[in-house]
Amino acid sequence: MGAITTLTRMWLTRGVRPFTFTDENDGRLPYADCERLGLYIHIPFCRSICNFCPYCKTIYRKDACDRYIDALKREIRLVGAQRGGKTRATSLYFGGGTPALAADRIGEILGVVGEYFTVTEGVGVELHPDDVTPDVLRTLKAAGVTKLSIGVQSFQPKYQKVLGRKPVDAKALAAALAAVPFETVSMDFIFALPGQTFEDLRADADAALACGANHVAIYPFIDFSFTPSGVRPMEKREKRALLDAITRYLTEEKGCARGSIWTFASDAEAKYSSMTRENFLGFGCSATTLLRDQFKVNTFSVDEYCKRVDAGRLPTALTTRFSRRQRMVYYLFWTAYSTRVDAAEFEEFFGVPLKKMYGAELAIAKLLGLVTESGGVYEMTLKGAFYYHYYENFYTLAYIDKMWNVLRNDPFPKRLTL
């Protein structure tokens, strides 16, 4: 598995240089020249911890959460003050953990963000189904939140049991969402669970659309090495049949648009994706920042995060400086999440035609039936989307799993090579 990702990286970056991260921290995030900048804020608190979940999170305590949010506001000010005036940002997503647990402080955080940034495409927040009550939704709406993402995982008690979670009350969700409507209501599901069939997934998607979602995210189950989940991943062939069947059902029978590799929207305006940005600034522990030539990740330790920021320093743990080819591969990998790559946007970003840099790879992808091209826009086929999914799993285990595992155990590692 490691060999596949290493060889692919060497081929696409035309070099042997691995991604090397160091503890350099010059206190600057040069985002002035970044167009289409996205913002991300991490809130790492949950009521209980799910055994399959790899994210940076800890059990909620009000005092710890309040201290953390004070530090978060300070970090936003440290970064925001590096530029004069207000910076235009596309979207702002609060992820976690369960950011809705801090619903009563989201407005205050948005106030600080608004001192430095103008967000043009809305604000999204992740919720656990237990947080979907009219009171919480009203608080979020009054704060300026426009999009919700609810971690349902499955409406079927048998799969909630497999995941170690309790059943979700679809009626209560529907009632709360009808009482306090939002522009985008997305629901997360996990697929490729043991024995899961197309009928199971279809029932989940139907129930989501019936109870007020206009966007669904269907994530393949990923078995991270450091999570204590006992769930066994599904075989490749079965997984592909399931993904193709649910994609066909949602796009052909339900008229949904595939907005990204995992997401389907029943309303063309509904969008929820913090991943497909060319550049982004991340705030909070474990948050990542992607700029023109570098990628950074903050410390995973809530305590060390607060201490660093209280001392007036950025909480960056690791930084990598990209070679140009590495940055291109990174760009293509993340923009491909949207299932399309626009050659004109690539050229605008890098100042060189996509065909000149990756003409041979694109021709092979077309020949293999992985992409189609029309007017310089490359669209993934069903087959292409499956292989992207499949390869992404290797990437996640070879790079993200390794990096997160190091950062879970060491708040400020000296060096990391991937």
Binding site for ligand SAM (CB under 6 A): 46, 52-55, 95-96, 98, 126, 128, 151, 153, 188, 190, 219, 221-222, 224
In the list ligand SAM, ligand SF4, none, the entry touching 221 (Cβ below 5 to 8 angstroms by class) is ligand SAM
- Residue 301 interacting partner from ligand SF4, ligand SAM, none (CB closer than 5 to 8 Å by kind): none
Which lies closer to ligand SAM via its Cβ, residue 224 or residue 249?
A: 224
Task: With CA atoms as reference, report the closest residue to 221 among 232, 206, 236.
Answer: 232
Among ligand SF4, ligand SAM, none, what does residue 133 contact (CB within 5–8 Å per kind)? none
Q: Taking CB within 5 to 8 Å according to partner kind, which of ligand SAM, ligand SF4, none is near residue 188?
A: ligand SAM
Q: Which does 49 bind (CB under 5 to 8 A by kind): ligand SAM, ligand SF4, none?
A: ligand SF4
Helix (H) or strand (E) holding 257, with range, is strand 257-260
DSSP H/E element including 128: none
What is the spatial distance between Cα 124 and Cα 57, in angstroms, rounded to a whole number? Answer: 19
d(CA 133, CA 44): 21
Residue with Cβ nearer ligand SAM (46 or 209): 46
Residues that bind ligand SF4 (CB under 6 A): 46, 49-50, 53, 55, 57, 96-98, 128, 151
Q: How far is the CB of 152 from ligand SF4 (least distance, A)?
A: 11
The answer to whether 202 and 246 have CB atoms below 8 angstroms apart is yes
**What are φ and ψ of residue 97, in 5° steps?**
50, -165
Return the beta strands (E) in 78-183 as ranges: 87-89, 92-96, 117-119, 123-127, 147-153
Judge contact between 207 and 155, C-beta under 8 A. Answer: yes
Of 29 and 287, which CB lies nearer to ligand SF4 in the complex structure? 287
**Eight-class DSSP state of 250:** I
Residue 315 binds: one of ligand SAM, ligand SF4, none (C-beta under 5 to 8 A by kind):
none
Least distance (Å) between residue 396 CB and ligand SAM: 9
Give the nearest distance from C-beta 52 to ligand SAM in angstroms: 4
Classify strands 58-59 and 45-46 as parallel, antiparallel or unpaired: parallel
DSSP code at position 96:
E
Task: Phi first, then psi: give them for residue 189, nearest 5 degrees.
Answer: -130, 155
C-beta separation of 366 from 372 below 8 A: yes
Residue 130: alpha-carbon gap to chain centroid? 21
Residue nearest to ligand SAM (CB): 151
- Toward ligand SAM, which CB reaches closer, 54 or 411? 54
Nearest distance from C-beta of residue 150 to ligand SAM, angstroms: 7
Measured from the CB of residue 1, what is the shortest distance to ligand SAM in angstroms? Answer: 17
Partner whose binding site includes residue 295, from ligand SF4, ligand SAM, none (CB under 5 to 8 Å by kind): none
* Least distance CB 218 / ligand SAM (angstroms): 9
Q: Which is nearer to ligand SF4, 98 or 156 (CB)?
A: 98
Q: Where do we find the tokens 């430095």?
A: 116
**153 vs 316 by CB, closer to ligand SF4:** 153
**Which alpha helices (H) appear in 166-288, and where do they start and end?**
170-179, 198-210, 236-248
Phi, psi of 87 (to 5 degrees): -95, 135
The whole-angstrom separation of Cα 132 and Cα 113 is 25
Shortest distance in whole angstroms from residue 338 CB to ligand SAM: 18
Cα distance between residue 230 and residue 1, in whole Å: 21
Q: In this complex, which beta carbon is closest to ligand SAM, that of residue 188 or of residue 278?
A: 188
Shortest Å, Cβ 404 to ligand SF4: 13
Q: Which C-beta is closer to ligand SAM: that of 106 or that of 291?
A: 106
d(C-alpha 62, C-alpha 101), whole Å? 9
Q: How far is the CB of 376 from ligand SAM (least distance, A)?
A: 33
